[in-house]
Amino acid sequence: MKKEADELYLDQAYDSVLERIAQVREKLSALSADAVKLKDQTMLWVYLVEWLAVSVTSLVCGVALWTLMVKRKVYREVRLTRLGS
Amino acid sequence: MALIVMMVAMACQASAAREPKRDPGTRRVRVLYVGDTVWRTWRDITADPVFSVVPVPATLGYFSGDALLKFMRQYIPHTYQTFVESVDLLVLSDSDRSLFTTQQESWFRDGVVERGLGFVMGGGFEAFGGAAYGRSWKGSATEEALPVECMSNTAWDIRPFFARPAEGARDHPFVTSLPWDGMPTFGGMNIVVPKQSSIVLLRSVPTALGDPEYPVLIYWEVGKGGAVAHTPDWNPGWGATVMDYWEYYQDYIVNIAYLASGLDVPQELQLVHSVRTGLAGYALQKSMVYRSWNSRKASAATSPLWRDASMRSSP
């Protein structure tokens, strides 16, 4: 379409060039809108995966921290040392 | 030699109207734009579908020595034959003479006189007699193709002025193609002496009483070709205000290219201006849409390489 417009310009058919350029720019605008839409859809998944990864990591770390440091589930107190006995 | 060239030139000038030189395949005028490529001027010419531009960075004021030598080696044609077969319009925009060989200087003259090239020299510290960093063009073979005589030293005037139609040129197609009243001032110009058979199209109108008047835009047809001398810089520094604030700047630059190429300068001002504005808008819009996912092609389109017409992609 742009090539057509260029050829028309070379023939000095300026009115026709204006029409063609308006059509091309309309298509470019539609293409631009599609690109933005596609980008938004892609970024939604990117953000979702990022959010899930961060959330799951926080959860696992939190559970481990709570279990080991607060509840002391695997903590065993040393009763005697060899020196004490 | 110079005398013979001049006589041949004047004889040819009296003959029939000039045939514009173009690429026979694409009908485009192939422009070799050598000089200060850091500004939008060459892009404004590129936006017009009549022209296919190869920009070559070549000013001592903007680029370093090694880079310049590389650009000249890579992008200036290596033989006279290649030069005249691949270039229809040569633009030397504020480009210093010391960057070119004596042989190249002769090619530029011969290309215009013998092979019908168009030639434009744009002003600045490195153009005409403005030897700010290197050498004046005075005495060069290239000067013989110019419609003006250059001065031998740093000949410029940096007082602001308006460029307005010269007496006797008001009916010239270039002059009638643009509205001059709104054109802002230039900040300076090279001082030159128009040659006898040249036409002064624009002259300076000083902004202060007592300032001298100079020729601003001078044209002639020489041999089979034509040449234009634009004595102010057409982009920053001296042309900054015109470039940034004049609505018809692109039309001005492109019409100069039409004039030098021997093409008919379009007279339908508003229509052509709308078309060119639309084309420039398209180029900007396209670069924004495409650049993100096609950076390779975008960078090729802006690099100073020889570009084939087929590289102009379209949606």
pLDDT digits (tens, 9 = 90+) for B264-305: 999 999 999 999 999 988 888 888 776 655 554 444 444 444
- The mean per-residue pLDDT over the stretch B165-169 comes to 94
> For B49, which of A6, A24, A29 is closest by C-beta distance?
A6
Which chain B residues are within 8 Å of A42, Cβ to Cβ?
none
Contact A14 B28 (CB under 8 A): no
In the prediction, which pLDDT does B111 show? 97
- The mean per-residue pLDDT over the stretch B12-25 comes to 73
In the prediction, which pLDDT does B293 show? 54
In the prediction, which pLDDT does B306 show? 39
In the prediction, which pLDDT does A79 show? 75
Contact A18 B274 (CB under 8 A): yes
- Residue B310 banded pLDDT, cuts 50, 70, 90: very low
Residue type, B88: D
Q: How far B312 CA sits from the closest chain A CA (Å)?
A: 9
Contact status of B279 with chain A (Cβ, < 8 Å): yes
SS3 B138: coil
- The mean per-residue pLDDT over the stretch A49-59 comes to 98
Please choose, from the candidates B117, B71, B28, B137, the residue with its C-alpha nearest in 3D space to the C-alpha of residue B303: B71
Q: Kindly tell me if the per-residue pLDDT of B66 is higher than 90.
A: no
In the prediction, which pLDDT does B15 show? 43
Range in B56-60, B208-212, B257-261, B265-269 with the lowest mean pLDDT:
B208-212
Q: What ipTM does the predicted assembly reach? A: 0.74
Cα B272 to Cα B49: distance, rounded to the nearest angstrom = 12
SS3 A10: helix
pLDDT digits over A3-48, tens only? 888 899 998 899 999 999 999 999 989 988 998 999 999 999 999 9
Which chain B residues are within 8 Å of A43, Cβ to Cβ?
none
> For B266, which of A2, A12, A22 is closest by C-beta distance?
A12
Q: Kindly tell me if the per-residue pLDDT of A67 is higher than 90.
A: yes
- The mean per-residue pLDDT over the stretch B196-212 comes to 92
In the prediction, which pLDDT does B4 show? 56
Contact B28 A10 (CB under 8 A): yes
Q: Kindly tell me if the per-residue pLDDT of B122 is higher than 90.
A: yes
Q: Which residue has the higher pLDDT, B52 or B4?
A: B52
* Mean pLDDT for chain B overall: 86
Contact A6 B275 (CB under 8 A): no
**Torsion sign across C-alpha atoms A59, A62, A66, A69:** positive
In the prediction, which pLDDT does B220 show? 97
CB-defined contacts A:B, below 8 A: 62
Tell me the angle at which helices A14-65 and B269-291 cross, rounded to the nearest 10 degrees. Answer: 20
Please choose, from the candidates B240, B241, B235, B191, the residue with its C-alpha nearest in 3D space to the C-alpha of residue B212: B191
> For B315, which of A10, A14, A28 is closest by C-beta distance?
A28
Which chain A residues are within 8 Å of B279, Cβ to Cβ?
5, 9, 17, 21
Asked if B195 contacts B258 with a C-beta cutoff of 8 angstroms, the reply is: no
Q: Which residue has the higher pLDDT, B45 or A2?
A: B45
**pTM for this prediction:** 0.80
